[in-house]
Structure 1
Amino acid sequence: MLAYVGLVQAGNAKAPSSAAFELITLGDSGGIQDGNLSAFLLRSLTENNYIALDAGSIVNGIDVALEHNAFAKLAIANDPEWHTNGTILRQHVKGYFISHGHLDHTAGMLISSPQDSSKPIYALPSVHQTMLDTYFNWQAWANFTDRGIKPQLKKYQLIDLMPKQTLAIKDTSLNVTAMSLSHPLESAVFIIEKGDDLFVYFGDTGPDAVEKQGKLKAVWQYLAQQLKSKTLRAMVIEVSFDNQRPNNLLFGHLTPKWLMTELNQFNSLLATTTDKDTPLQGAQIVISHIKYSLAKGPDPRIVIKQQLEQANNLGIKFILAKQGQRLEF
């Protein structure tokens, strides 16, 4: 599947131009569906190097993406020592961006680490500490990092991201800025830049009205300022449950109702710097982390898709992430 995103710039309408980013879905669901947990690969279309946005499913995700011909536009390196999936992981994935330490966002990286290549892990400091305390501790898993319990195998270099401080991403032409999100474990949003183009990836997050921390408002304010001179190509954001989920059981997640509440706040901020009432109209937003369920009843994906369409008063084009999917923005 290939989609092209509407461009969003707060100051002035911008005519569509050629795509800037490629996004490949390695895992689309949150929770229990092992083999299909939150993970995406992102690259600038001007280069052959990806970054991994979360890492719930890595090797299985690459295998499914290969089956769907998602790497058709990648000039895959010739490496006689490794199969194609190994070459992609070892040579073309240049770093992990871990939004938070829950297993459905980290398990693929942990499991694949023995045959992975050396590369950085980028995260907020608290996220790195969670992974050192919980996984890379020589009990749950060997310490493949350059910190924590010895011996340190030093395959992964832990790079701390400080909120609102932009950092160049090694071995790519991309920059990243991270901000904190509300979740039982501190989570993060990653704002990826290539020139004047932005791609935004949200880890797990609850709505501000429930979490009472104002963290999404801070993200919308930051993005609104950035979009005075830059262009939002796309964003990935979670919707874990349908609207029937009570607020006290959200556990730091969004529903279609709460996502639209947040996006309307973002739209209002953007509207203050443009003559449009709905500056987000035409923007495409990738929906991730829909919780897979073993219970009988309607498919959560179908229910959430319908609820998003019914509540969509902004003209947004929603795309439900699907494992193996390739998108250009």
Structure 2
Amino acid sequence: MSSEETTSSRRRSTRSTRTATKSPGARPPPSIRKKKNALKEDNHTSTIVNGEVVEFQPTFEIIVLGSGGGPLETDCSGYLVKAASSSWEDGVLALEGGSGLGALASILSNPTTKASTLFPGLRFPPGYTTPLLQAAHVFSFLACYLITHAHLDHVGSLIMLSGSVPPKSHQHTQPPTNAISPSKEAKVTHPRPHVYGTRRMLVKLSQAYQGGLWPELGSWVPDREGDTSTPQSNGNGMGRKKRKVEEQSVKGPNGAVDVTEENYDNSCLLFSPLSTERVHRPLHPTLPISLLTYPVAHGCTSKHTYQSSAMFIRHDPSAITQSTPSTPSSTSSTKTKGKGREFLFFGDLESSYRSPGEQNVDVERGREAKELNDVIWKEASGTYKDGRLCGIFIECSYDSSRPAHLMFGHLSPPGLYHELKTLASFVSKTDERPLKGLKIFVIHIKDALVPHPSGRTAREIIMSELNELEAKGQLGVEFVETKQGDRIVI
């Protein structure tokens, strides 16, 4: 790993490699610095555990397809994730689906971005020389989507790509040999990625697949073992109990076709509800990833609080139960590298924080947000103290001048820092810099459409405010501005 990849995020260009390798704060003694520099050359990373530097090999590689929060449709939430010790061919997790294939093609069309730099070790087949074909090749390794909530800036690309997920082979799109009486294998001519999320989120997403907004391309998979989720209305007054009856007539929530032996082959993506148990569960059978999901509040509708999700995404080689062509050669090394390390990824969320003079704005939702968020921070505090927390991806949509009644279920720098102080309180009430070494990847910044009087962009203002809060608060965190086209190694 070059020294260029480990410099401060503030000195990197929009499309660059970001590697979480060094911890902020006091400069370590020369012996530790020497050891850390040697490790960097061997593609290692480090973290702080009980005040000591602990070295790890990188656990995850993340490509940022989009990190904005709107209003630009060209930069919405979308990330490609894989285990650092696995190859891209082993399978890719699409975390959020706001930006996708088109965004990657646009990134690769930039003259300063090389596919070999963004996807080191990935070889493209002969003829895959255009940005679109190279992006399609990467997406051919898509194993599944993981979605925090169903707002369009998080699922727009997913919907558009339904039915057109690039095949793993050009043979995939050829017609069957026997056009009159094709075999069952010949009928299955398209990939069917799973879409994972809470049942409540998937019910909302499935509304796009009723034939009006998009063709009826979605199917429901049977409930996972141990799913104890409570019945949820699907928007038509029908909950899970009703859906069980509908399964017999090959219908699922909101009219989405349910998975049966007869109609499974007609679907182009599979709605797969996550377990609500508070334990890590395997995500997809081909990925060394397990997941722990919590609900968060994200504003409200005319009927109820709108739920988003926070997800602890853990490197877990034991989660692989189905091999891919290149899995056998990679899993042996995967089992000893970074096992158990995880990052925390938030969908959109709100805080209980209110600025002076606004304490009476949305009081009930503030209480609800605190109750939900505190549970997550307690879990994160244990992971951090164990040295397993690679970083936190969390939104900061607006700057601090945004009034509370116009936040629409989002965070500003004071709200974000308030949440981090809550995490710090669970870690230690006495230590100085209790979150020393923790990387906070700032996402979902909403770009301004009118110039700011200072001449600065929304991103510049928000990052400046966050750094000023840290300069005063001294939690020990490092804020990293996450940009479209970044390659993040943690």
TM superposition score normalised by structure 1: 0.91
Q: Aligned residue for 2:423?
A: 266
Q: How far apart in 1 are the matches of 2:256 and 2:144?
A: 23
Is 1:177 matched with 2:299? Answer: no
CA separation of 1:154 and 1:212: change in aligned 2, threshold 3 A: same
Which has the higher mean CA deviation after the structures are superposed, 309-318 or 98-107? 309-318
CA separation of 1:74 and 1:97: change in aligned 2, threshold 3 A: farther
Which has the higher mean CA deviation after the structures are superposed, 284-293 or 238-247? 284-293
Q: Aligned residue for 2:483?
A: 322
Which has the higher mean CA deviation after the structures are superposed, 239-248 or 220-229? 220-229
Q: Following superposition of structure 1 onto structure 2, how do residues 231-242 of structure 1 map, counting pairs within 5 Å?
A: 231-242=388-399
Letter aligned with residue 288 of structure 1: I
Are the equivalent residues in 2 in contact too, given 1:10–1:279 (CA < 8 A)? Answer: no
Is 1:196 matched with 2:340? Answer: yes
Is 1:187 matched with 2:302? Answer: no
Are the equivalent residues in 1 in contact too, given 2:219–2:257 (CA < 8 A)? Answer: no
Q: Aligned residue for 2:195?
A: 121
Q: Deviations over 1:117-166 (max 9, x none)?
A: 32111101110010112x11111112322133255642212221233242
Q: Deviations over 1:178-234 (max 9, x none)?
A: 110111331001111112201111100001346321111110011223344451111
CA separation of 1:74 and 1:127: change in aligned 2, threshold 3 A: farther
- Tell me, what secondary structure is at the counterpart of 1:183? strand
- Tell me, what secondary structure is at the counterpart of 2:163? helix
Q: Aligned residue for 1:166?
A: 280
Are the equivalent residues in 1 in contact too, given 2:383–2:389 (CA < 8 A)? Answer: no
Q: How far apart in 2 are the matches of 1:310 and 1:228?
A: 25
Q: Matched residues, percent identical?
A: 22
- Tell me, what secondary structure is at the counterpart of 2:219? coil
Q: How far apart in 1 are the matches of 2:257 and 2:423?
A: 46
Letter aligned with residue 264 of structure 1: K
Are the equivalent residues in 1 in contact too, given 2:99–2:157 (CA < 8 A)? Answer: yes
Q: How far apart in 2 are the matches of 1:188 and 1:3?
A: 25
Q: How far apart in 2 are the matches of 1:80 and 1:2?
A: 27
Q: Deviations over 1:78-131 (max 9, x none)?
A: 48799221121122x211111101000000111112211321111011100101
Q: Following superposition of structure 1 onto structure 2, how do residues 218-297 of structure 1 map, counting pairs within 5 Å?
A: 218-271=375-428, 276-297=431-452
Q: How far apart in 2 are the matches of 1:77 and 1:46?
A: 20
- Tell me, what secondary structure is at the counterpart of 1:291? coil
Q: How far apart in 1 are the matches of 2:309 and 2:482?
A: 19
Q: How far apart in 2 are the matches of 1:42 and 1:178?
A: 17
Are the equivalent residues in 2 in contact too, given 1:224–1:269 (CA < 8 A)? Answer: yes
- Tell me, what secondary structure is at the counterpart of 2:148? coil
Tell me by how many angstroms 1:270 deviates: 1.1
- Tell me, what secondary structure is at the counterpart of 2:294? strand
Tell me by how many angstroms 1:12 deviates: 6.3
Tell me by how many angstroms 1:8 deviates: 5.3
Structure number with the higher helix fraction is: 2
- Tell me, what secondary structure is at the counterpart of 2:135? helix
Match of 1:63 among 105, 115, 119: 105
CA separation of 1:90 and 1:306: change in aligned 2, threshold 3 A: same
Which has the higher mean CA deviation after the structures are superposed, 311-320 or 209-218? 209-218
Letter aligned with residue 347 of structure 2: G
Q: Aligned residue for 2:13?
A: none
Letter aligned with residue 119 of structure 2: A
Q: Aligned residue for 1:72?
A: 119
CA separation of 1:39 and 1:143: change in aligned 2, threshold 3 A: same
Match of 1:211 among 363, 366, 384: 366
Q: Aligned residue for 2:83?
A: 44
CA separation of 1:11 and 1:120: change in aligned 2, threshold 3 A: farther
Q: Deviations over 1:1-34 (max 9, x none)?
A: 2333245566563413221111111011112101
Q: How far apart in 1 are the matches of 2:256 and 2:465?
A: 50
CA separation of 1:97 and 1:74: change in aligned 2, threshold 3 A: farther
Higher relative contact order (CA 8 A, sep 6+): 1
Q: How far apart in 2 are the matches of 1:74 and 1:145?
A: 34
Tell me by how many angstroms 1:76 deviates: 4.3
Q: How far apart in 2 are the matches of 1:64 and 1:276?
A: 46
Structure number with the higher strand fraction is: 1
Q: Aligned residue for 1:111?
A: 160
- Tell me, what secondary structure is at the counterpart of 1:23? strand
Letter aligned with residue 63 of structure 1: A
Q: How far apart in 2 are the matches of 1:52 and 1:13?
A: 34
Q: Aligned residue for 2:270?
A: 157
Tell me by how many angstroms 1:276 deviates: 3.7
CA separation of 1:154 and 1:248: change in aligned 2, threshold 3 A: same
Q: Deviations over 1:264-301 (max 9, x none)?
A: 110121126xx743231222111110012222324111
- Tell me, what secondary structure is at the counterpart of 2:56? coil
Are the equivalent residues in 1 in contact too, given 2:206–2:256 (CA < 8 A)? Answer: no
Are the equivalent residues in 1 in contact too, given 2:47–2:55 (CA < 8 A)? Answer: no
Are the equivalent residues in 2 in contact too, given 1:125–1:161 (CA < 8 A)? Answer: yes
Tell me by how many angstroms 1:258 deviates: 0.7
Letter aligned with residue 172 of structure 1: L
Match of 1:54 among 96, 101, 116: 96
Q: How far apart in 2 are the matches of 1:150 and 1:124?
A: 16
- Tell me, what secondary structure is at the counterpart of 2:104? helix
